Amino acid sequence: PGLSADETRQRLAQMSHEDYLLNVVKVHPDVVKLFHSAFFGSLVVGPEAIPAIYFRDNGYPGFAGLNLEDLPPELLVNEPGGAHGRENIERARSGDPDMYFPDGNATITRLLVRSLIPYAVTAGDMEDILTAAVDYSRLDRDDQDCRIRLNSMVVNVQHQGSEQVRTQYINNGQAYTVTSDDVVLACWNTVIPYICPELPATQKEALAYGTKSPLVYGGALLRNWQAFVDTGISSVSAPTSFYSSIGLQASVTMGDYQAPRNPEEPIVLRFSAYFDVPGQNLNRREQHLAGRKEMLATSFDTFEEKLRDQMMRVLGPAGFDDERDIVGLTVNRWPHGYSYSYNPMDDPEEWAYTSSDARPCVVGRQQVGRIAIANADAAASPHTDAAINEAYRAVSELLNT
């Protein structure tokens, strides 16, 4: 009470959503649990480490009567960073929902390879790409303008005078050296100072600022999905469970790839776990570090047992039998997952809400001689389109030098 709209927004930007719910709205602590996984898909922490304003601007309840005007739909939607979650929401409201590929972003990679080395991929368009064969023998040939060398880890990048860059890499245990006119470092930005030690100290510090989030994406092959049909659900959100989300893969049909239609057919179940560390008064970056240790210390048996337990609690009454119906599962641990995006509770507010050149991602991605820097980290964004934009920028910098 008594605060202007600007003052209210400022207060909400500095206050955690948990603090807001408990001490301003004064809800029962159990209510906070309902919002625990709300931002797992982008920030990978719960409401104790996310500002209340993010929840308000994304349409969550509990903010009526604050006399705050809605942000214009276009504001922040195309802002590189993606911290606010507004991109997907506003695009969906305008009839432009997220695009899902059955094999994830591998589809995008295959399309890129097809454009760069047409003879390597037998596909005409996006409809064909999922089932197209890839001729790996064509990826790295002497007579091609573009060569893709797989399983090659770069360990050192260094200028050789002002006109050349030397890249050293390891392939099959052997060390190799390549000399080129230009180099784009599009890897995890935190490791760049170790790969390219000639960078200025301030740039190295900026590249190391972000802390990637730890998460698990898994898939289980089910013998059938009749229990989902019988219960009338396709997915389950469990905000405080080990797996916060369990559900059937999105039904996508592209070209010759046909999604399962008959519930008696096998199907892939997706499940996700996000390793936050609530209740210990840790900020987001600290939670990512602690959560990564917890995730890497978790055994495969635990991941499997937790999935079987949750599936039986949800679908057991509908006849699901985990011993019979789960054919196999894959657990993909992602210790360095989503790129770090800025948060007004822990970072300067202008970093979260503007394209300030003072942001570490901008300082860190500056071109040095013939070396440019890309990756989603360079946009402080976990989104694929941000990674593509940064790649375009980095290549453009080198072409225009």
Apex 335 CA angle, 331 and 340, nearest 5: 130
Q: Is residue 259 part of a domain?
A: yes
Q: Is residue 350 part of a domain?
A: no
| Other Cβ atoms within 10 Å of 257 Cβ, number | 15
Q: Is residue 102 part of a domain?
A: no
In the chain the first and final C-alpha atoms are separated, in Å, by 55
70, 105, 126 - which closes a domain: 70
User: To 10 degrees, the CA torsion angle through 348, 350, 352, 356?
Assistant: -120
- DSSP, res 146: S
* 174 beta partners: 171
Token pair, residue 102, equals 């059955």
What is the Cα–Cα distance from 107 to 220, expressed in whole angstroms? Answer: 21
Q: Is residue 210 part of a domain?
A: no
Q: Is residue 144 part of a domain?
A: no
- CA-closest candidate to residue 38, choices 20, 15, 59: 59
CB 305, CB 297: distance < 8 Å: no
* 267 beta partners: 222
What residue numbers bound the domain in which 274 lies?
Answer: 215-334
274, 301, 334 - which closes a domain: 334
Q: Is residue 384 part of a domain?
A: no
Q: Is residue 280 part of a domain?
A: yes
Residuewise pLDDT in 10s, the chain (401 residues): 688 988 999 999 999 999 999 999 999 999 999 999 999 988 999 999 999 998 998 889 999 989 888 766 555 544 554 455 555 555 556 655 667 788 888 899 999 999 999 999 987 788 888 889 999 999 999 999 999 999 999 999 999 999 999 999 999 999 999 999 999 999 999 999 999 999 999 999 999 999 999 999 999 999 999 999 999 999 999 999 999 999 998 888 888 888 899 999 999 999 999 999 999 999 999 999 999 999 999 999 999 999 999 999 999 999 999 999 999 999 999 999 999 999 899 999 889 888 889 999 999 999 999 999 999 999 998 888 889 999 999 999 999 98
> What's the structural domain count of the chain?
2
